[in-house]
């Protein structure tokens, strides 16, 4: 099996660990910037400009959002807190798309206050939004389309017809007719039908599906669309043998579909957007931990000071995350279950994994934690969420979130003896 390389040395990680106790997540700023620029270059052909609305849920840290904002990214938000975080770093107006389901009124109010593009999840939300905003709908509205059996999902997101999200095809026509009759003049269309998908064909087919639908809606209702959000879901190569999606090739194939369908029907220019989160930051995050214990019973176990509370994906989804022991890349290997300390048997980062035979006290790095890593952390067993660090290269780094303390954990409990 091929291996994965780290952007820092063992000594550089130890220098961070001397100031930020393990476990912690560290993110490679330079690599994130380079990746964002490549994404924009792949869609530089889009009339009116391309925007990737970074899925804030993937890595909700304002210091990271600030970096991505500097590279032209907007924010894809699904909650009040995510809206506030975008506002704090200066991502406002139509650089936000707000896509939510079972949405509280105050979330819609905040999105409207910021001038975000509101992307409705259900036809009943038209009336709910209108009432919430005092009887007046926003200038622009967007609907999320769920194609049901017309489009296959993938292993992570499941079948569209079994998902709770979006409008049916029939509801789209009814909903846009209702908006038109209520005086809405600006229209968008969105779908999201895959997650962590590495097959480039999937994204081209999704774009073609939306382009065809825009032509049909225009012919039926006489409305013109100015905004198409193709969704996110571009995957990353978690396994060393996997290959990243060729963004430039996807961009050119979607361009050909756009010209064949949108331009040929006289419906351009239409702005194209996506809402990738994992693909932007996922490969450039690392969970740095240290070996606490080694155990040999029916299997060999390597016990870390990190646990499922720091990275839920392997325990929750059975997901693969590559593991490196810095400084021992060429050392003899041994098969381990790599575990944490939760009182749950699924608290495992790897099962029957051949890795370098680490010693107690060695650093262990778990790759590809820059999306849905720290963000999915929790406090079960009283575990405290870890620090986050921004790696700036040449030995420079910045702590962008301190580790939690017991005072943080007990902060909402008014009970004597718990304050430290």
Task: Please identify every residue annotated as catalytic.
Answer: 343
Strand bridging mode 96-99 / 74-77? parallel
Q: Which residue has the tokens 């700036």?
A: 392
Provide the b/e sequence for 240-255 (b: ≥16 CB within 10 Å). eeeeebebeebbebbb
What angle, 0 to 180 degrees and rounded to 10, lies between the N-to-C axes of helices 247-258 and 29-42? 30
Closest CA to 239 of 397, 76, 105, 350: 350
What phi and psi, each to the nearest 5 degrees, are found at residue 241? Answer: -85, -5
CA triple 14-16-19, angle to 5 deg: 110
Cα separation, 172 vs 223, whole angstroms:
13
Contact 349, 332 (CB under 8 A): no
Alpha-carbon span 230 to 93, nearest angstrom:
20
Residues forming a β-bridge with 393: 396
Sign of the CA dihedral running 167, 172, 174, 179: positive
Read out DSSP for 28-63?
EHHHHHHHHHHHHHHTTTSTT-EEEEEEGGGS--HH
C-alpha distance from residue 301 to each of 25, 309, 365 (Å): 23, 18, 16
Cα radius of gyration rounded to whole Å, the chain: 23
- Residue 111 sits at φ, ψ, to 5 deg, of -60, -45
Give the residue from 90, 61, 95, 50 showing the smallest Cα distance to 76. 95
| 287, 365 Cβ separation under 8 angstroms | yes
């Amino acid at each position: 099996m091929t291996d994965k390389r780290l952007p820092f040395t063992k000594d550089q990680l130890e220098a961070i660990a001397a100031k930020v106790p393990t476990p912690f997540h560290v993110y490679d700023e330079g690599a994130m910037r380079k990746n964002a620029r490549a994404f924009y270059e792949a869609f530089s052909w889009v009339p009116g400009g391309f925007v990737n609305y970074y899925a804030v849920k993937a890595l909700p840290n304002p210091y990271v959002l600030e970096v991505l904002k500097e590279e032209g990214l907007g924010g894809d938000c699904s909650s009040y807190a995510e809206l506030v975080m975008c506002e704090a770093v200066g991502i406002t107006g139509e650089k936000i798309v707000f896509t939510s389901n079972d949405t509280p009124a105050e979330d819609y109010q905040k999105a409207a206050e910021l001038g975000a593009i509101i992307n409705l999840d259900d036809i009943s939300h038209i009336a709910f939004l209108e009432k919430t905003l005092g009887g007046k709908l926003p200038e622009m509205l967007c609907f999320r389309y769920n194609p049901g059996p017309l489009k296959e999902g993938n292993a992570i997101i499941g079948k569209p017809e079994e998902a709770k999200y979006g409008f049916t095809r029939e509801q789209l026509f009814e909903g846009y007719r209702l908006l038109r009759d209520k005086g809405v003049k600006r229209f968008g269309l969105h779908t999201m039908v895959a997650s962590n998908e590495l097959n480039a064909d999937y994204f081209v087919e999704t774009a073609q599906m939306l382009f065809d639908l825009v032509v049909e809606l225009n012919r039926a209702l006489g409305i013109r669309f100015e905004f198409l959000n193709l969704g996110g879901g571009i995957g990353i190569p978690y396994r060393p043998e996997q290959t990243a999606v060729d963004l430039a090739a996807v961009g050119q194939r979607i361009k050909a579909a756009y010209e064949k369908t949108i331009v040929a029907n006289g419906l351009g220019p239409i702005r194209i957007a996506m809402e990738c989160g994992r693909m932007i930051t996922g490969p450039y995050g690392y969970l740095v931990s240290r070996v606490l214990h080694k155990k040999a019973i029916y299997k060999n176990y390597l016990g870390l000071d990190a646990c499922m509370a720091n990275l839920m994906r392997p325990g929750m989804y059975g997901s693969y995350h590559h593991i490196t022991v810095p400084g021992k890349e060429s050392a003899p290997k041994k098969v381990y279950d790599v575990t944490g300390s939760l009182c749950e048997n699924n608290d495992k980062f790897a099962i029957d994994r051949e890795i370098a035979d680490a010693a107690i006290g060695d650093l262990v790095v778990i790759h590809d934690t820059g999306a849905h890593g720290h963000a999915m952390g929790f406090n079960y067993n009283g575990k405290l969420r870890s620090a986050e660090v921004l790696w700036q290269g040449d030995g420079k780094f910045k702590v962008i979130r301190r580790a939690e303390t017991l005072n943080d954990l007990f902060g909402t409990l008014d009970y004597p003896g718990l304050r430290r």
